[in-house]
Amino acid sequence: MANITTDAAKPERLQLLRVLGPAHVWALGVGIVLVGEYMGWNFAVGKGGMIAGLVACWVAGLLYTCVAMIDSEVTSTVAAAGGQYAQAKHIVGPLMAFNVGLFLVMAYTMLEAANAITVGFLLDTVAGMTGHSGLHQQPFIVLAIMFLAWLNYRGVLATLTFNLVIVAVAFTAICVLFFAIQFGASDVPLDFSAVTEEPLPYGWLGIVAALHFGLWYYLGIEGTCQAAEEVRSPARSLPYGTMAGIMTLLIAATLTWYMCSGLIPWEYLGQAGTPLFDAARVTGSVWLMVLLFIGTIFATLASANGCINDASRAWFSMGRDRYLPSWFGAVHPVYRTPYRSIVFLVPIALIFALGAPLDQVVTFSILSGLLGYTFMTFNMVMFRRKWPLDTIKRGYVHPFHPLPTIILLILCSTAFFAVFLGYGTQLIAMMCFYIVASLWFHFRRYQYVRRGDQFTMPWPRPQGY
């Protein structure tokens, strides 16, 4: 009787609210990624020329299509906050789960910093066009991050509804620019002579090197998994939102390459800060410039907004499972958000946004993402082996297994080599960082983890155990 009384006296653990639908999942995934069409992808052109940039666009699209299919199957089954981190702790083990959680947090936090840098750069560019050069970018960088952190603090439904609206505007801006160019709104005609005159200025190796920044077109679509604990129907919403998101991005990426490569010389395009906005400037149309300025600002804000959402969910989940101090696992009693994790990650994003160059921040995010995608290949194989199709109910079953897994592993290995060609020192430094973090977890933090509390899925015993 005493035990019953004690259990009843325990306060109910606050949970995240289940208020999201497929459209919010789409807005989260596309919102994080669409900024890649507005900036960053064009460094691939600088690495290998226009043809290399197009090949990188489509090869990276294949890589992320595999990521989206694998994530849709596993996350619609493991419907918990933390996304790939939650998958790893259920399927692989604690050390892998800790590393995957860290990959997610660093990838999204660095992407958030890159977005804030782009906001400051764009405002400085526009100020220079109007005769007010020398704008101080830092206050706008800080303001953007602080405002979006406050929005995330106040509730996930408002946050992702905001994303839904501004992502729709940003995507529409790309489509409007494309049709306007096709119907003669540009003073400068499309010119693809560089494709035939200088198709591969750095040879075939340039195609491999370009893959590094080709990932930027799609980096972050896997963030839809972070909403798994806050959607009303994970088995339906996550696959629909994720697959619709990758299709949207494939269209936007191809249109972006086509317009920018046709309007901007590849030598300039390869180092431009805001290529789509520059393409609108080349057209000579004021209304297109205004539209693409709005689209760029909205895309960067949507991406940073989604990154704060996803990074905080991964950090919160690790705190809730005691992989990190349990203080981070708190849920706000009114807004039902992981408020401590949101606040804690703000200064980290600000440090990188204010003190690191854009290409370095982009590379840090890409490398962390690549490590997470490499994990997915092993995770998917183990998931199918431990729980075959007829043993547990899945919201989505991706076709042609294990072909997408094999393709993903090959493309990830190629992308690592591409990064090494241009940023070998940073690649080695990051690997050392994750090794040191793994050692810290194994020797210092693992003793606090409660292994029995982690397994929340009502699954049968794995095959072979």
Torsion of CA 376, 40, 436, 405, to 10 degrees: 10
- State how far the alpha carbon of 162 is from the alpha carbons of 35, 150, 273, 392, 437, in Å: 16, 13, 25, 36, 35
pLDDT band at 259 (very low <50, low <70, confident <90, very high): very high
Query: Tokens 């490590």 identify what position?
Result: 371
Mean local confidence (pLDDT), 216-228: 85
- State how far the alpha carbon of 402 is from the alpha carbons of 66, 68, 72, 155, 406, in Å: 10, 14, 15, 39, 6
What digits encode the pLDDT tens for the residues 397-429?
988 889 999 999 999 999 999 888 888 888 899
Q: What pLDDT shows up at residue 315?
A: 95
Mean local confidence (pLDDT), 39-43: 88
Q: What pLDDT shows up at residue 8?
A: 42
Q: What pLDDT shows up at residue 7?
A: 42
Q: Which amino acid is at 317?
A: S
Residue 4 has pLDDT above 60, yes or no: no
Asked which of 109-118, 235-244, 348-357 is least confident by mean pLDDT, the reply is 235-244
- State how far the alpha carbon of 388 is from the alpha carbons of 315, 392, 407, 457, 461, in Å: 30, 7, 21, 15, 11
Contact 235, 211 (CB under 8 A): no
Instruction: Please say whether the structural domain 23-450 has been given the CATH code 1.20.1740.10.
Output: yes
Asked which of 109-113, 234-238, 301-305, 374-378 is least confident by mean pLDDT, the reply is 234-238
Q: What pLDDT shows up at residue 1?
A: 41
Mean local confidence (pLDDT), 163-180: 94
Q: What percent of the chain has pLDDT over 70?
A: 97
Per domain, the residue ranges of the chain are 23-450
Mean local confidence (pLDDT), 257-286: 91
Q: Provide the mean pLDDT of the chain.
A: 88
Residues in the chain, total: 465
What digits encode the pLDDT tens for the residues 429-455?
989 999 999 999 999 999 998 877 677
For the chain, give me the number of helices (H) and strands (E)?
A: 19, 0
Mean local confidence (pLDDT), 61-88: 87
Q: What pLDDT shows up at residue 13?
A: 61
pTM: 0.87
Q: What pLDDT shows up at residue 9?
A: 41
CA distance 226 to 84: 8
What digits encode the pLDDT tens for the residues 324-368?
999 999 999 999 899 999 999 999 999 999 988 888 888 889 899
DSSP 261-300: HHHS-HHHHTT-SSHHHHHHHHHT-HHHHHHHHHHHHHHH
Query: Tokens 């090197």 identify what position?
Result: 209
Collapsed DSSP state (helix, strand, coil) of residue 20: strand
- State how far the alpha carbon of 224 is from the alpha carbons of 75, 242, 357, 463, in Å: 9, 6, 28, 29
- Nearest Cα to 137, choosing from 158, 120, 122? 120
Residue 144 has pLDDT above 90, yes or no: yes
Residue 392 has pLDDT above 90, yes or no: no
